[in-house]
A and B are shown apart, each in its own frame.
Chain A
Amino acid sequence: MKLTVNGTEHEIDVEEDMPLLWVLRDELGITGVKYGCGIAQCGACTVHVDGVAVRACQLAVGDLSGEVTTIEGLGTPETLHAVQEAWVAHQVAQCGYCQSGQIMQAASFLDLNAAPSDDQIDAAMSGNLCRCGTYPRIRAAIKTAAAKLQEV
Chain B
Amino acid sequence: MGRGKTIARRSFLIGSAAILGGVAFGTYLVKRDPENPLLADAVAGDAVFNPWVRINASGITLVTPHTDLGQGATAMQAMLIAEELDVELEQITTTPGVPSAAYYNTALAAEAVPFRSNDDGFSATAMRGTMGAVMKVLGAQVTGGSTAVPDSFDKLRLAGAVARETLKAAAAAETGIDAAQLTTARGAVVLPDGARMDYTTLAARAAQIEPVTNVSLRDPSQWRLIGKPVQRLDIIAKSTGTQIYGIDIWMEGMVHASVRSNPRKGAPMTGFDAARTEGMRGVQKIVGLPYGVAVIADNTWRAFRALEEIDIDWDIAPYPAEQADHWVEVAASFTKERLDREWRHDGDVDAALEGADVITAEYRAPYVAHQPLEPLSAVVKVGATRVDIWAAHQLPRFVQQRVAKRLDMDTEQIHLHNQFAGGSFGHRLEFDNIDVAVDVAHEVPDTPVKLTFRREEDFAQDYNRQIGMARGRGAHADGKVTVLDLDIATVSASRSQSRRLGAPMPGPDTQIPAGAWNMRYAIPDLRVRAYAVPELAPTSSWRSVGASTAGFFAEGFLDELIHAAGADPMEERLRLVNDDDARRVLEAVAEMSNWGSALGPNQGRGVALVTSFGVPTAEVVEVTATDAGIKVDRVWVAAEVGRVVDPVTFENVVAGGVIWGLGHAMNSEITYSDGMAEQDNYHMAEGMRLHQCPVIEVRGLENSDTVRGVGEPPVPPAAPALANAIFAATGTRLREMPFFNTVDFV
Contact = CB atoms under 8 A, between A and B. Distances in A.
For A21, A35, A98, A100, the residue with the greatest tally of chain B CB atoms inside 10 Å of its CB is: A35
Contact of A94 (B71, B281, B695): B71
A93 B238 contact: yes
B241 A126 contact: no
Interface residues of A, number: 60
Interface string A98-142: 111001000000000000000000110111111111111111000
Contacts of A44: 373
A75 B237 CA distance: 11
A70 B243 CA distance: 14
A97 B422 CA distance: 5
Contact of B300 (A26, A98, A123): A26
A13 to B, nearest CB: 10
Contacts of A97: 70, 245, 372-374, 422-423
Interface stretch (B176-184, B686-694, B722-730): B686-694
A125 B690 contact: yes
Contacts of B455: 36-39
Contacts of B649: 91, 94
A9 interface: no
B222 interface: no
Interface in B240-277: 240-245, 247-248, 250, 256
B653 interface: yes
B234 A93 contact: yes
Nearest to B377: A35
B281 A15 contact: yes
Contacts of B683: 39, 41
A77 interface: yes
A50 interface: no
Nearest to B453: A35
A76 interface: yes
Nearest to A99: B238
A150 B587 CA distance: 42
A44 B691 CA distance: 17
A92 B657 CA distance: 15
B658 A133 contact: yes
A143 interface: no
A2 to B, nearest CB: 19
Contacts of A131: 371-373, 423, 425, 660, 687
Interface string B451-467: 01011100000000000
A147 interface: no
Contact of A42 (B239, B421, B456, B682): B682
B688 A133 contact: yes
B250 A29 contact: yes
Contacts of B241: 31-33, 70-72, 100
B29 interface: no
For B72, B238, B371, the residue with the greatest tally of chain A CB atoms inside 10 Å of its CB is: B238
A143 to B, nearest CB: 13
B652 interface: yes
B235 interface: yes
Contacts of B656: 94, 132-134
Nearest to A119: B691
B132 interface: no
Contacts of A66: none
Interface string B340-372: 000000000000000000000000000000011
For A33, A123, A134, the residue with the greatest tally of chain B CB atoms inside 10 Å of its CB is: A134
A129 B239 contact: no
B157 to A, nearest CB: 23
A123 B691 contact: yes
Given A36-B455, A131-B687, A135-B693, A94 B659 contact: no
Contacts of B304: 38
B373 A42 contact: yes
A52 interface: no
Nearest to A93: B238
A126 B687 CA distance: 12
B623 interface: no
A35 B375 contact: yes
B235 A136 contact: no
Contacts of A71: 240-241
B72 A139 contact: no
Contacts of B70: 93-97, 132
Given A94-B656, A97-B422, A128-B690, A136 B372 contact: no
B239 A80 contact: yes
Nearest to A38: B455
B232 A37 contact: no
A84 B238 CA distance: 10
A131 B372 CA distance: 6
A148 interface: no
B696 A136 contact: yes
Interface in B659-694: 659-660, 663, 681-683, 686-691, 693
B655 interface: yes
B691 A37 contact: no
Contacts of A59: none
B686 A133 contact: no
A21 B242 CA distance: 16
B231 interface: yes
Given A34-B374, A88-B235, A26 B299 contact: yes
B236 A77 contact: yes
Interface string A24-66: 0111010111111111011010000000000000000000000
Contacts of A125: 690-691
Contact of B659 (A18, A88, A135): A135
A87 B239 contact: yes
B373 A133 contact: no
Contacts of A32: 240-242
B373 to A, nearest CB: 5
Contacts of A80: 236, 239-240
Given A36-B373, A84-B240, A122-B690, A95 B232 contact: no
Given A122-B691, A129-B373, A129-B686, A35 B238 contact: no
B301 interface: yes
A100 to B, nearest CB: 4
Given A123-B691, A131-B660, 18 more contacts: A22-B301, A33-B241, A36-B682, A70-B241, A71-B241, A72-B242, A77-B236, A91-B232, A93-B235, A94-B649, A95-B374, A95-B420, A95-B422, A103-B239, A122-B691, A129-B689, A131-B687, A135-B659
Please name the 6 residue pairs, one residue from A and one from B, whose CB atoms are nearest each other, closest first.
A32-B241, A95-B70, A97-B422, A96-B238, A133-B659, A133-B656
28 contacts: A31-B244, A31-B250, A34-B247, A34-B422, A37-B455, A41-B682, A77-B240, A77-B242, A87-B239, A93-B70, A93-B234, A94-B656, A95-B70, A95-B374, A95-B421, A96-B239, A97-B70, A97-B373, A122-B690, A125-B690, A127-B689, A128-B690, A129-B689, A131-B373, A133-B655, A135-B659, A135-B688, A139-B690
Interface of B: 69-72, 231-232, 234-245, 247-248, 250, 256, 281, 299-301, 304, 371-375, 420-425, 452, 454-456, 648-649, 652-653, 655-660, 663, 681-683, 686-691, 693, 695-696
